[in-house]
Amino acid sequence: MRGAVMHGPGEIRVEEREAPRIVEPTDALIRVSAACVCGSDLWPYRGIGTGDGDWPMPMGHEYAGIVEEVGAEVRTVKPGQFVVGSFWASDNTCEICRAGYQSACVDRVPMGALGAQAERLRVPLADGTLVATPDVPSDDLVPSLLAASDVLGTGWFGAVAAEAGPGKTVAVVGDGAVGLLAVLAARQLGAERIVAMSRHESRQRLAREFGATDIIEERGDAGVAAIKELTGGLGAHSVVEAVGTQESMNQAIHATRPGGHVGFVGVAHGVAIDGMDLFWSLAHVHGGPAPVRRFLPELIDLIWNRQIDPGKVFDLSLPLEQAADGYRAMDQRDAIKVLLTP
Amino acid sequence: MRGAVMHGPGEIRVEEREAPRIVEPTDALIRVSAACVCGSDLWPYRGIGTGDGDWPMPMGHEYAGIVEEVGAEVRTVKPGQFVVGSFWASDNTCEICRAGYQSACVDRVPMGALGAQAERLRVPLADGTLVATPDVPSDDLVPSLLAASDVLGTGWFGAVAAEAGPGKTVAVVGDGAVGLLAVLAARQLGAERIVAMSRHESRQRLAREFGATDIIEERGDAGVAAIKELTGGLGAHSVVEAVGTQESMNQAIHATRPGGHVGFVGVAHGVAIDGMDLFWSLAHVHGGPAPVRRFLPELIDLIWNRQIDPGKVFDLSLPLEQAADGYRAMDQRDAIKVLLTP
């Protein structure tokens, strides 16, 4: 089986990998219809947070595809169905899952370790991880369904964590695919005003398509000042942090009004939140690895009924064999999000 | 007029201060029935976060007393009434106040700058700051009403920010007066299990009186492990951080289950929250200076009807003239909380 493997920072190769097979009776085996490159894949690509012992690393944790085989205990999906799953496999029955935090399921398995940028994928805990679509989708729906696996689910969680909703002004820090889909989520959740913080024309355009009412190009303190100016000096009710740097986290906290909410979904590398700063901000802060499984049924429904089109974030589509080009394009910000077809 | 003034770290003197008078038409002048020493007064007492330019510093921001005079625009309180106010004066009409964050009111005035450990006190924005009791209270109710001004209101906010409520296990880090009253608040809010983290016998006893169901003496990682053990490995639903140190903040975050809530009301001196740690914890974090005014009507009601007795945290009562002894007793943890009577 062909699959993408990182052999060190910047070194992506598509090579023969051992084909997965059913290991546990709760596993499903899927033929991957589409996978993609995640913003978080760029951290190891750039050598951040990795060590010599990490290589070789099979890549990819976003996937949608057709079930080929299921283990003896799998009940909710069956061969032939098209399924979307989260980037964490979860039992969806433990107390943490039932509270809506499937990404911290007591039995969770990181899908990244299994390598979804490949022809086939073993999905553990299939009943708690996968959601089947009503039918096999037409090709034009596949990118949007794939997006639900992580990038849409993560942007959605950011907007939910920031308590985006009716009457709210929502600011989104970060114009990557997650940030753009947090704009879409805020719109769906009924936010009154949605401010995308972006200085890239093509991303601004997509943000507007997804529902942004305002664009702010300034960053850092100037970005905060611009948000304050838009909101009568008070700050936004809700701010989604979708970058994961110290500057973006500070910007998010400072742009939030007292009592407002920061939803952070950028993987916070090297970020420290100043306690006194947070104390005086009176902001709520919530974030982390998105519990995508919580949102999947609703997101699939919205996509299936063509109410949302998150697949628009894929501005480059490549055969799996050219995965290295996809990583390069995202690393250099030539592409927002790259779809890979095995 | 006599009032307590700090002249440098550790130097409290009760001396003649200029008697306050009505300055703005929205002011009220009160004769202080009781004031007290706050845990946060110990920060400057210990020389933390202060500089040479800060002295002399009139002290005190917790107060209850009888209205003597009101400005021309004051409508809701009148001379002769017994009132309790928050440690932030607030208009209680701005958008931030209406959202329940009076401690960040756009017109807020810090009561600490006015010095409530004194015979008389000017209260700005009286209509938005003060709440009158149904009648002049009997003496035995005064300590509890005074407690509502800050220490109860702050513990209450900690419990609300931690989303303490029915079915929840709530852990409280810190056995100072705020922590103990967070225990009381959690009980009132209906929490199922309330864990006080304390190694002081007298404080443990008071925690149990206030509603603690469990006591944990361990701190730091051992304290976290003990909470995990109590909660089937998951962590508490709600944790109140009522200290304000790095260790206590880490302990609070690590003791919270994924999706759970940390309410932090300790003034976070020199605290940095590790972004990655918070990311993986999936905890909600919310705190800051308590919007006591939001809770005052309800708290006064509970006290008036003798449903709660937060005044028990005052284990030392002194005449104002002996304020220095009160600071010393709290600094050395000989007293939980010191009440001062002018």
Percent of chain A whose pLDDT exceeds 70? 100
Cβ neighbours for A142, distance < 8 A, ≥ 6 positions apart: A33, A34, A64, A311
Task: Flag whether residue B247 sits within 8 Å of chain A, measured between CB atoms.
Answer: no
**Segment among A41-55, A247-261, B318-332 with least mean pLDDT:** A41-55
Instruction: Determine phi and psi for B244, rounding to 5 degrees.
Output: 100, 25
Task: Flag whether residue B97 sits within 8 Å of chain A, measured between CB atoms.
Answer: no
| Cβ distance of A282 and B270 shorter than 8 Å | no
Residue B341 CB burial class (10 angstroms; 0-12, 13-18, ≥19): middle
| Cβ distance of A104 and B272 shorter than 8 Å | no
| Cβ distance of A289 and B282 shorter than 8 Å | yes
| Cβ distance of A249 and B104 shorter than 8 Å | no
Task: Flag whether residue B286 sits within 8 Å of chain A, measured between CB atoms.
Answer: yes
Q: How confident is the model at residue B20 (pLDDT cuts 50, 70, 90)?
A: very high
Mean per-residue pLDDT of chain B:
96
| CA gap B293, B307 in Å, rounded | 20
Q: Put residue A270 in one of left, alpha, beta given phi > 0 → left and psi -120 to 50 → alpha.
A: left
Chain A nearest-CA distance from B161, in A, is 9
pTM check: above 0.90? yes
| CA gap B97, B90 in Å, rounded | 8
| Cβ distance of B104 and A259 shorter than 8 Å | yes
- Are the C-beta atoms of residues A245 and B88 closer than 8 Å to each other? no
Strands A63-70 and A82-85: antiparallel
CA distances to B5, B41, B44, B321, B335 from B9, rounded to whole Å, are 11, 11, 6, 18, 19
CA distances to B10, B88, B140 from B160, rounded to whole Å, are 34, 19, 27
Helix (H, G, I), strand (E, B) or coil at B319: strand
Identify all chain B residues contacting A280, using CB atoms and an 8 Å cutoff: 288-289
Identify all chain A residues contacting B287, using CB atoms and an 8 Å cutoff: 278-279, 282
Percent of chain A whose pLDDT exceeds 90? 95
| CA gap B51, A235 in Å, rounded | 31
Burial profile A267-289: b = 16 or more Cβ within 10 angstroms, e = fewer = bbbebbbbbbbbbbbbbbbbbbb
Task: Flag whether residue B144 sits within 8 Å of chain A, measured between CB atoms.
Answer: no
Q: How confident is the model at residue A263 (pLDDT cuts 50, 70, 90)?
A: very high
- Are the C-beta atoms of residues B115 and B141 closer than 8 Å to each other? no
Identify all chain A residues contacting B249, using CB atoms and an 8 Å cutoff: 275
Q: Tell me the mean pLDDT in the region A53-68.
A: 95
Chain A nearest-CA distance from B268, in A, is 5
pLDDT for the residue B106 = 98
At B295, list the tokens: 């809770």
pLDDT, tens digit, for every residue of B34-89? 999 998 899 899 998 888 888 999 999 999 999 999 999 999 999 999 999 999 99
At A87, list the tokens: 């980037």
- Are the C-beta atoms of residues A340 and A50 closer than 8 Å to each other? no
Helix (H, G, I), strand (E, B) or coil at B128: helix
Domains of chain A, each with CATH number or no CATH: 2-150+291-341 (3.90.180.10), 154-287 (3.40.50.720)
Task: Flag whether residue A276 sits within 8 Å of chain B, measured between CB atoms.
Answer: yes
Q: How confident is the model at residue B127 (pLDDT cuts 50, 70, 90)?
A: very high
Of B183, B147, B144, B151, nearest in space to B164 by CA: B183
Q: How confident is the model at residue B267 (pLDDT cuts 50, 70, 90)?
A: confident
| Cβ distance of A278 and B273 shorter than 8 Å | yes
| Cβ distance of B234 and A288 shorter than 8 Å | no
At A91, list the tokens: 């039992």
| CA gap A34, A140 in Å, rounded | 12
pLDDT, tens digit, for every residue of A208-254? 999 999 999 999 999 999 999 999 999 999 999 999 999 999 999 99
Helix (H, G, I), strand (E, B) or coil at A133: coil
Cβ neighbours for A295, distance < 8 A, ≥ 6 positions apart: A148, A153, A156, A157, A160
- Are the C-beta atoms of residues A141 and A305 closer than 8 Å to each other? no
Paired with A194 in beta bridges are: A170
The beta-carbon neighbor of B249 closest among A246, A275, A291 is A275
| CA gap B189, B186 in Å, rounded | 5
| Cβ distance of B101 and A282 shorter than 8 Å | yes
| Cβ distance of A258 and B284 shorter than 8 Å | no
Burial profile B168-177: b = 16 or more Cβ within 10 angstroms, e = fewer = bbbbbbbbbb
Q: Tell me the mean pLDDT in the region A35-39.
A: 93
Paired with B317 in beta bridges are: B339
The beta-carbon neighbor of A284 closest among B259, B275, B286 is B286
pLDDT for the residue A51 = 83
Task: Flag whether residue B252 sits within 8 Å of chain A, measured between CB atoms.
Answer: no
At A223, list the tokens: 């970005």
Helix (H, G, I), strand (E, B) or coil at B22: coil
Task: Flag whether residue B295 sits within 8 Å of chain A, measured between CB atoms.
Answer: no
Q: Tell me the mean pLDDT in the region B321-337.
A: 95
- Are the C-beta atoms of residues B166 and B190 closer than 8 Å to each other? yes
Paired with B236 in beta bridges are: B256
pLDDT for the residue B269 = 85
pLDDT, tens digit, for every residue of A183-209? 999 999 999 999 999 999 999 999 999
Greater model confidence, A17 or B112 = A17
| Cβ distance of B278 and A276 shorter than 8 Å | no
Residue A266 has pLDDT above 90, yes or no: no
| CA gap B210, B309 in Å, rounded | 9
B48, B90, B96, B157: which to substitute to probe chain A, counting the most A Cβ within 10 Å?
Answer: B96
| Cβ distance of A270 and B272 shorter than 8 Å | no
Task: Flag whether residue A258 sits within 8 Å of chain B, measured between CB atoms.
Answer: yes
| Cβ distance of A103 and B282 shorter than 8 Å | yes
**Which residue type occupies A104?**
A
At A286, list the tokens: 């919530």
Angle at B158 between CA B156 and CA B161, to 5 degrees: 110
Cβ neighbours for B173, distance < 8 A, ≥ 6 positions apart: B179, B197, B223, B239, B240, B241, B242, B243, B248, B251, B252, B255
Task: Flag whether residue A328 sits within 8 Å of chain B, measured between CB atoms.
Answer: no
The beta-carbon neighbor of A99 closest among B101, B259, B272 is B259
CA dihedral B240, B245, B247, B250 (to 10 degrees): 50
Identify all chain B residues contacting A272, using CB atoms and an 8 Å cutoff: 272-275
Identify all chain B residues contacting A281, using CB atoms and an 8 Å cutoff: 288
| Cβ distance of A275 and B271 shorter than 8 Å | yes
At A109, list the tokens: 């398995």
pLDDT for the residue B62 = 96
Q: What is the CA radius of gyration of chain A?
A: 19
| CA gap A250, B258 in Å, rounded | 23
Percent of chain B whose pLDDT exceeds 70? 100
Task: Flag whether residue B173 sits within 8 Å of chain A, measured between CB atoms.
Answer: no
| CA gap B328, B341 in Å, rounded | 17
The beta-carbon neighbor of A104 closest among B258, B267, B273 is B258
Helix (H, G, I), strand (E, B) or coil at B341: strand
